Structure 1
Amino acid sequence: MPASRNILVLYTGGTIGMQQSSEGLMPASGFAERLGAQQAQLPSLQLPDWQFRELLPPIDSANMNQRNWLAMAEAIRNGVEQDGCDGVLVLHGTDTLAYSAAALSFLLLGLEVPVVLTGSMLPAGVSGSDAWDNLFGAMQALSNGVETGVQLFFSGKLMPGVRASKLGTASLEAFGVLPRMRTGQHVPVPGSLDFRQTRRPVPLAVLPLYPGITAAQLNGVLESGVKGLVLECYGSGTGPSDDAQLLDALSKAHRRGVVLVAISQCPQGHVDFDIYAAGGKLAATGLISGGGMTREAALGKLFSLLGAGLPQSEVEHWFAVDLCSERAE
């Protein structure tokens, strides 16, 4: 894990750089000057050299979407390939920080430099803020050496970007990695899926199963034009298997080419369709097991695969194997 000496700091907005307005806290530009001024006050810090890029306009991460992910990936590629950066720090709002970390994990497969995302629960400059600790902590981690791939740094912890989740809002220690069983064969990343591959936005949906869900409600999602669905099942991958209309809705969507993937809605869950008959009936509709993948990882991986223009069968193949430790330790 070589040390990063010249990093790209990519600012997207978020709480870390927000400033007070008449309407409340709002994303603000000009964060490079604030970062430089704060670093000048801490001369003992051993930090890598950095160059600053800003995605405009800076956004509240609650407004994050696929096009923002693609813009981040492009800016990171340019920073590495054109500007010679050997590490990347992405400053991001916390609401969708884990989603972006997961998406970038798949969009940047094969990139030979480390990418670290961080943010803060309180804006920089506010009393008790975690902003500078998180930002400079992430920069120091890059300076010390971080393995290639995407990581999330928060509250002193470096976490795999493809397995981290936001777990709370009442504490500065808002992110963590829950223990989820991981199974899956790790395979080399094919050229058709590496960071050079062009992606495009693709309509996706996430839907939890719940007592009383109907086929009509499920069809409302499946017939809305989505190309992929992350279905959050009960426990180890079960659902209302006695509802023939609901199962038929899934089967028809799969035959139309919609990619259907299943994850557990339990925080420490793992999908194994072979345990219960109810799970087997769901699997028979065309659902692909996400194993112990988080919602963020499943959505990010599905976007990366479908966004690359792969057909349904190839998406299902690559979703079922491990590409960057999303399915295996």
Structure 2
Amino acid sequence: MKNLFVLYTGGTIGMLQTAEGLAPAGGFEARMREQLDARGVALDWRFEELLPLIDSANMRQVNWLAMRDAIVTAVEAGCDGVLLLHGTDTLAYSAAALGFLLLGLPVPVVLTGAMLPAGSEGGDAWPNLLGAVEALRQGVAPGVHLYFNGQLLHGARASKLRSEAFDAFAELPRPREAKRAGNLPAGLDYRTPRQPVNLAVLPLFPGIEAGHVRGLLGSGVKGLILECYGSGTGPADDLALLEALREAHGRGVVLVATSQCPAGHVQAGVYAAGSQLMATGLVPAGGMTREAALGKLFALLGAGLAQEEVEHWFALDLCGEMAD
């Protein structure tokens, strides 16, 4: 790597104390440059603040699209590596979404952040940032990655598991047995502009009612991620709930099924309860995480694909999210 692009979006890593508490702050380029110079890191790099800087709890699809645009512009201008600084609350969501928004990008993108602001005694901000830079210098494969606490993780497999510890992120041991996609059509690579999409995630729970599902599906959603029990089961004896899903699918809503289990894997046909649920039109997400399923559905629907096309590509592994 000879020409690094650093994109700073906000988050705890660059926050400063205000009267209302920690808040995103500008001026991080000078602080980063001081750290690199102090360690004698010889590197050509360019820094950009993605305004407005945000706490990642406020992350939205438009922010993903702005990140994608800034990264593509930098790559087309000649950068050969990207470091994206991001808050931790939605870091795994953004890593997954960018993995699908940047399919085919010829350079590596590494996201990192921190549990404590840069400058905190004993904090993790500089170790994470400098570790990510060193990983890029040594060589990282093209694609989207997440670096945290000394580990380089797959961007579409990582999840935040802890709210305070420095080892907050990990790749969950979910089975990955899907078929890999062949050559992607031009309309799905990193050059493809996207639009925001109305999406929803709904976990199943004992006592869920058809009215809950109908209310959500009636809100104009274009895609629904249904977080099922175990290997993809749900209340198959609730005919009204099944009919609500079937009707939504019939009018073009894309329905996908993930597992609520941390090491879960949706498999159609294992249980009768799961088979009846899948028969409503749900596409099994295999071992995908919630973050990956949401990012993938956004990238596919946001590209303007029809329901049948979205379902086809969703069921295939695109960047390592479903297959080893």
1:71 aligned counterpart, secondary structure = helix
Aligned length: 323
Residue 173 (structure 2) pairs with residue 147 (structure 1): no
Match of 2:11 in 1: 14
Q: Which amino acid aligns with 2:311?
A: E
Residue 322 (structure 2) pairs with residue 327 (structure 1): yes
Displaced runs of 4 or more, over 4 A: none
Taking the aligned partners of 1:129 and 1:47, their CA distance within structure 2 comes to: 24
Match of 1:74 in 2: 69
How far did residue 98 of structure 1 move?
A: 0.2
- Contact between 2:12 and 2:24, CA under 8 Å: does it hold in 1? yes
Question: Which of 167, 192, 202 matches 1:207?
Answer: 202
Please give the residue correspondences for 1:259-274 in structure 2 after superposition, counting only pairs within 5 Å: 259-274=254-269
1:122 aligned counterpart, secondary structure = coil
Unaligned runs of 5+ in 2: none
Match of 1:297 in 2: 292
Question: Which of 83, 91, 109 matches 2:85?
Answer: 91
Taking the aligned partners of 2:213 and 2:121, their CA distance within structure 1 comes to: 47
- Same amino acid, percent of matched pairs: 65
Taking the aligned partners of 2:139 and 2:244, their CA distance within structure 1 comes to: 49
- Contact between 1:48 and 1:140, CA under 8 Å: does it hold in 2? no
Taking the aligned partners of 1:189 and 1:115, their CA distance within structure 2 comes to: 20
Match of 1:27 in 2: 24
Match of 1:117 in 2: 111
Taking the aligned partners of 1:67 and 1:139, their CA distance within structure 2 comes to: 27
Taking the aligned partners of 1:319 and 1:57, their CA distance within structure 2 comes to: 32
How far did residue 189 of structure 1 move?
A: 2.1
- Contact between 2:228 and 2:260, CA under 8 Å: does it hold in 1? yes
Question: Which of 147, 155, 159 matches 1:165?
Answer: 159
Please give the residue correspondences for 1:229-308 in structure 2 after superposition, counting only pairs within 5 Å: 229-308=224-303
- Contact between 1:47 and 1:143, CA under 8 Å: does it hold in 2? no
Taking the aligned partners of 1:194 and 1:16, their CA distance within structure 2 comes to: 30
Question: Which of 23, 38, 41 matches 1:41?
Answer: 38
Unaligned runs of 5+ in 1: none
1:267 aligned counterpart, secondary structure = coil
Match of 2:179 in 1: 185
Taking the aligned partners of 1:49 and 1:239, their CA distance within structure 2 comes to: 53
Deviates more, 1:291-300 or 1:165-174: 165-174
Match of 2:56 in 1: 61
How far did residue 169 of structure 1 move?
A: 1.5
Match of 2:216 in 1: 221
Residue 99 (structure 2) pairs with residue 105 (structure 1): yes
Question: Which of 155, 159, 176 matches 2:170?
Answer: 176
Deviations 1:252-284 (A, max 9, x none): 000010000000000000001210000000011
- Contact between 1:6 and 1:49, CA under 8 Å: does it hold in 2? yes
Taking the aligned partners of 1:197 and 1:302, their CA distance within structure 2 comes to: 15
RMSD value over aligned CA atoms? 0.7
Query: TM-score, length-normalised on structure 2?
Result: 0.99
Query: TM-score, length-normalised on structure 1?
Result: 0.97
Taking the aligned partners of 1:297 and 1:57, their CA distance within structure 2 comes to: 25
Taking the aligned partners of 1:156 and 1:104, their CA distance within structure 2 comes to: 21
- Contact between 1:47 and 1:140, CA under 8 Å: does it hold in 2? no
Q: Which amino acid aligns with 1:111?
A: L
Q: Which amino acid aligns with 1:211?
A: P
Deviations 1:77-122 (A, max 9, x none): 011102x100000000000000000000000000000000000000
